[in-house]
Structure 1
Amino acid sequence: MRGLTGYAAYVPRHRLGKRVVAGYDEDSTTMAVAAATAARSETEPTAVYFATSSPAYADKTNATAIHAALGLPATAVAADLCGTGRSAFAAMMLAAQTGGIAVAADVRVGRPGSADEKRGGDGAAALVFGDGPVIAEVLGSASRTEEFLDRWRAPGAVTGQQWEERFGFERYSRLVRAAAVDALDAAGVADADHVVVACPNTAVVKRAATLVKGQKTVQVSPLGFSGAADAAVALCGVLDTAEPGDTILVLSATDGCDALVLRTTEHLTRNRQRTSLAEQLADGLAVAPLTYLSWRGLVELEPPRRPEPDRVGAPPASRSVAWKFGLTGTRCGDCGFVHLPPARVCRGCGVIDRMSPAAVAGLTGTVATFTVDRLAYSPSPPMVQAVVDVDGGGRFTVEIADAEPDRLQVGARVRFSFRRLFTAGGIHDYFWKAVLI
């Protein structure tokens, strides 16, 4: 198996009280792109494995959008593993075997008063496996499977259901202990320094420290239960603080229990994610309850009194994949002028077809001018548009995500984030937005 070469978690900025919630323009795909683009690695993934229980599309591979946003070659595999936390663990194992990236993301919606509503959380995480300098070695793994009814959701239902938690705890506790022993034996490790426990059963999470002992810590996801992303998010939190040489036991208990043992290396300290999980959690933007419910389609607010946008056409979207999904323009080979969006004819010197790709998704920029439009069609008005000068060349008009009009000013610094502009005719219009730094 390959080792872990990079990782990153993504925590949406919006907060409903203390609960982390994705914005109206975020879904499992956009959050997966945010985590995947933030995961630093010296090796390029050969495959993308995407796990979620809240896919943006059915009958279409969502991982291909992540593949396009990362700008990976056509030879790289992109596949969905939809369902539960067990699907996410399968993605991790596949990535470790092939040298790919495992990405997990979920948008959780709970019934009023339910544990999902109180303890759920939206988020994503990406784990990159490959050769070369690894930040953690894979020492061993184990799995236990058992069929019982603890949590379920009917296809097409917005919210799920859960049996009385004591029933699930009795079964999960035995499986967790057994999988932990098997994995540690396979790894040749007596006890792990850090233990990560992920489970949809709240009783298991509450009693995690009594089920398996960690020499230093026993951790669960600080987001609350984040579905398929739960174990990967919690692992990212451990990697933010672990020391070189520490062993980490990851336990993902969903319809059984899967276990993975890692040992961190000396490369971890200089290859941690740029913004830690704790820092992302501390940066919140309050959202009103009624606004949040409208984002999830649970209440219908008065729509903007403007014509709704037309659905995206497949042929034009396929012709502009590099720009639409990868935010890649063109740079003139003669004068260096950067065109955003891409162009064949240089606006600087007039030369034709002398262009090379110019990717700007990972760059930052400066707001040259902006406008706050309170009349334009938007699921969450006002719509804020800005002209951004990209560092290294190029200028284009882009919408501001997570808009705070009072903070926005000419000269403000921004980065770029993959978002969903709107949905029409069942088709999601994905593109990039600017986010204040």
Structure 2
Amino acid sequence: DGAGTALVVGSDIRVGLPGSGDEAAGGDGASALVVGGAAEGAVLAEYLGGACATAEFVDRWRTPGDVRSKLWEEKFGENNYLAAGRRAWTDALKATGLTADQVDHAVVAGLHGRAVAGLGRKLGVRDGVLGDDLASTVGVTGAAHPGLLLGATLDTAASDKVIALIVLSDGAEVFLFRTTDALASYSPARTVADQVAGGAPLPYGKYLAWRGLLPVEPPRRPEPARTSSSAAVRSLDWKYGFVGAKDRETGAVHLPPQRVSMTGGNVDDMEPAPTADVTGTVKTFTVDRMAYSPSPPVVFAVVDFDNGGRLPIELTDMDAGEVAIGDRVEPTFRRIGTADGIHNYFWKARPVRTARAAEEA
């Protein structure tokens, strides 16, 4: 009946053979959008309408179980996507009563790079309206890309602006939105630009090994034990949400959560202390070149989080030689290791990098 809200999630891992165009242009990503009406909360962008155009042609396919897809000749796919895209664009403008000159932001998502670039040039929008498709920084993230581009646009758009999202996939689909006054007071937890700036270089050999495309010699150390499913269930909030415990009387934060307070000795008088979005400072650290790790060496640090908690935690996305006491870090949910076919995930800490800091550097 259209009532209530819905969470729409898209995620993808793009894999291409070494040296292929898909490897160079692909990216990994995830995006999530909450869809609902004004009755459920502030609406940042109102859906105005759209249109779609389907086309029956095969330009990309993948055999079930294969790690990568295959492509037909590029010009063939480009011509078919351009025809579908222009038809959907014209129909969407007609359905909403808008003209191309009234569109303030436009982004095009799709796996076919030439078609994406070509359609952008044929939209007829004003100079400066066509947004970055993030292909040169993030790469094309497949199913996640439309939501990623829309999120990046909302990060910088002002109120009362028309946004066009065009998706090229098995044809073309156009979504038209108008931003609302609520966007002016909205502050994202972390902008797409800041997330892009938070990336770190990855050696090509390590990338191939992590993708499973290059067999490598494993560390000559005892492998980690299989993770305990029962232990994980007993601490779901801690393992998956990084939620500690806070003494209601003294305010002391305990990471991991405890029943007995370290200050005052209060028992079972705690409240949740979410820490997943809390930054911290490295107080001391050590570099362990002997421990088992899929990405040696292991850099382990004691981090004081800004909410008052302290935790020994592994660092990631940094070079061991660049770590220093006083570094600012933030939690990130990562794979710890794999044993007996079970992937074990938990929280690590990575350097705080923002778009502004990257520009200043």
How does the TM-score come out when normalised to structure 1? 0.72
Partner SS state of residue 168, structure 1: helix
**Amino acid of the residue matched to residue 131 of structure 2?**
Q
1:434 CA drift (Å): 1.0
* Gap change, CA 1:418 and 1:379, over 3 Å in 2: same
Residue 417, structure 1, aligned to residue 344, structure 2: no
Structure 1 alignment gaps of length 5 or more: 2-95
Separation of aligned partners in 2, 1:217 and 1:337: 50
Does the Cα contact within 8 Å between 2:86 and 2:119 map onto a contact in 1? Answer: no
Q: What is the DSSP-based 3-state SS (H/G/I as helix, E as strand, rest coil) of the residue aligned with 1:306?
A: coil
Separation (CA, whole Å) in 2 of partners of 1:328 and 1:277 = 24
The one of 22, 25, 31 equivalent to 1:116 is 22
Give the one of 95, 115, 118 matched to 1:207. Answer: 118
Code of the aligned partner of 2:322: R
Q: Is the 8 A contact 1:328 1:359 kept in 2?
A: yes
1:150 aligns with 2:81: no
1:139 aligned partner: 48
| Residue aligning to 2:104 | 193
SS at match of 2:262: coil
Q: Percent identity?
A: 45
Give me the CA root mean square deviation: 2.4
Aligned match of 1:162: 71
How far is the alpha carbon of 1:165 from its aligned partner?
1.8
Please list every run of 5 or more consecutive structure 2 residues that lacks an aligned counterpart in the other structure.
353-361
Question: How many Å apart are 1:106 and its aligned residue?
Answer: 2.4
Contact 2:44 2:180 in 1 (8 A): yes
1:299 aligns with 2:214: yes
Structure 2 match to 1:383 = 298
1:101-133 deviation digits (Å, cap 9, x = unpaired): 333332222123322122222333333334333
Equivalent pair of 1:221/1:233 in contact (CA under 8 Å): no
Cα drift, residue 274 of structure 1: 5.6
Contact kept, 8 Å, 1:195 with 1:213, in 2: the verdict is: no
Match of 1:243 among 138, 146, 158: 158
Alignment of 1:14-413 (within 5 A): 98-130=4-36, 131=38, 132-191=41-100, 192-215=103-126, 216-219=128-131, 221-222=133-134, 223-271=138-186, 273=188, 276-282=191-197, 284-413=199-328
Question: Which residue does the alignment assign to 1:82?
Answer: none
Distance in 2 (alpha carbons) for counterparts of 1:391 and 1:337: 12
Larger Rg: 2
Distance in 2 of aligned mates of 1:393 and 1:364: 11
Residues 346 and 277 from structure 1, CA distance in 2 versus in 1: closer, same or farther, beyond 3 angstroms?
Answer: closer
Shift in alpha-carbon separation, 1:98–1:157, aligned structure 2, 3 A: farther
Structure 1 residue 250: Cα displacement: 0.8
Question: Partner amino acid for 2:130?
Answer: V
CA contact (8 A) 2:282 2:303 kept: yes
